[in-house]
Amino acid sequence: MERRSESDGSPEREPGDAGQQEQHANREVATPHTTSPTIRRATIRRAGSVIGPAYRRVMFLPTRCPLCATIGPAPCGSCARQLERAPAVPAIAGCTSIGACYRYDDAARSMMLAFKYRNRRDIVAFCARALAAMAPPVDLVTWAPSTAVRVRDRGFDQAEVLARAVARVLRVPTASTLRRVGAGHQTGLDAAARRVGPVFEARAPRVAGRGVLLIDDIVTTGSTFAQAASALGAGGALAVHARACCWTPPGRGRHEPGRERTVRPGCGGAGGVES
């Protein structure tokens, strides 16, 4: 039975009524079917006030070396010194010159895998400087595009990322000049299959009459460079200088056999360059 206040005659609540009503209201708010848009927006704002600062702390965490996790540049000075310079790369058909910065082994392999499969793009600036140091004067920087499947899986084309970074260092234009014909990719193929190489078509108006710097992340058999250089030459490029961040040594059983030519040292000591 409801009691009334002696002072004003208004209904008087039992001592536990307020707590019970508050719990009931909380249960209603927690029920999706009874949650109003206003409450949902308020909840999102409250969550954002908590998550936002944590997100900013994560975003501004210091850079760590992808090889040893030491705080600092990527890679750190100690790990960078472990990168073995690539020797002179054998001639590749269609390429005016060919060169690579590092031997694809141990530290270099770990670095490139971190870039390609863990999206460690903080490595790109280091690689771009090494590639730019061994680049001749050119009119345009381009790349050998990866397959659509690889781009979708990784979220980016590693050769394009490198090429654009190199172009920024060199302060020359960059453009997508090649279209890949067919969907095949090179990863996981044996040497015989790799030597067939992908097929490219050049966007002739972009390369005609220009000296082109062709960038890729890793050169193994040289088939990708050969096919890309052939397409660029057919499109009217005056010269195609191919450069890769890493070169796979013959000991790994994946390097295309071929006759070596006389080479000159790479500019800046970043690897061998064949003229």
Structural domain contains residue 70: no
Across 3-17, 71-85, 101-115, least confident range: 3-17
Q: Looking at per-residue confidence, does 225 or 261 come out higher?
A: 225
pTM of the predicted model as reported, rounded to 2 decimal places: 0.67
Q: Are residues 111 and 239 in the same domain?
A: yes
- Mean pLDDT score, 88-95: 93
Looking at the structure, tell me whether residues 124 and 259 fall in a common domain. Answer: yes
Paired tokens of 41: 């927006």
Q: Which domain holds residue 244?
A: 85-274
Least confident of 25-34, 158-167, 181-190, 230-239: 25-34
Based on the domain organization, do 146 and 46 belong to the same domain?
no
**Span 213-227, pLDDT tens digits:** 999 999 999 999 999
148 Cβ neighbours under 8 A, 6+ residues apart: 180, 183
pLDDT in tens, 172-197: 999 999 999 875 554 555 555 555 66
pLDDT of residue 6: 54
Helix and strand element counts for the chain (H, E)? 10, 10
pLDDT, tens digit (0-9, with 9 covering 90-100), for 120-147: 999 999 999 999 999 999 999 999 999 9
Does residue 130 fall inside a structural domain? yes
Q: Is the same domain home to 54 and 137?
A: no
Contact 218, 247 (CB under 8 A): yes
Same-domain status, 170 and 99: yes
CA distances 45 to 32, 37, 38, 208, Å, are: 17, 12, 11, 55
Question: Worst-scoring range by mean pLDDT, 15-19, 35-39, 164-168, 231-235?
Answer: 15-19
Summary mean pLDDT of the chain: 78
pLDDT category at 242 given cuts 50, 70, 90 is very high
Pairing relationship of beta strands 272-274 and 97-103 according to DSSP bridges:
antiparallel
Bigger pLDDT: 57 vs 180: 180
Residue 77 lies in a domain: no
> H-helix or E-strand containing 56?
helix 37-59
**Do 111 and 234 fall into the same domain?**
yes
* Residue 127 near residue 158, CB atoms below 8 Å: no
- Cβ neighbours for 124, distance < 8 A, ≥ 6 positions apart: 115, 161, 162, 165
Say how many residues make up the chain. Answer: 275
Structural domain count, the chain? 2
* Residue in the structure block whose two tokens are 């920024």: 168
- 183: its two tokens: 């969907």
Assess if residue 127 is contained within a domain: yes
Q: Do 175 and 251 lie in a common domain?
A: yes
Identify the helix (H) or strand (E) that includes residue 241: strand 239-247
The two three-digit tokens of residue 240, written as one number: 């195609």
CATH of the domain at 170: 3.40.50
Reference 98, options 110, 86, 109; nearest CA is: 86
- Mention every residue, 6+ apart, whose C-beta is less than 8 A from residue 227: 197, 198, 199, 200
Q: Could you tell me if 35 and 115 lie in one domain? A: no
Q: Are 163 and 43 contained in the same domain?
A: no
- 162 plus 232 within the same structural domain: yes
Question: Do 117 and 41 share a domain, yes or no?
Answer: no
- Tell whether omega for the bond before 75 is within 30 degrees of 0, i.e. cis: yes
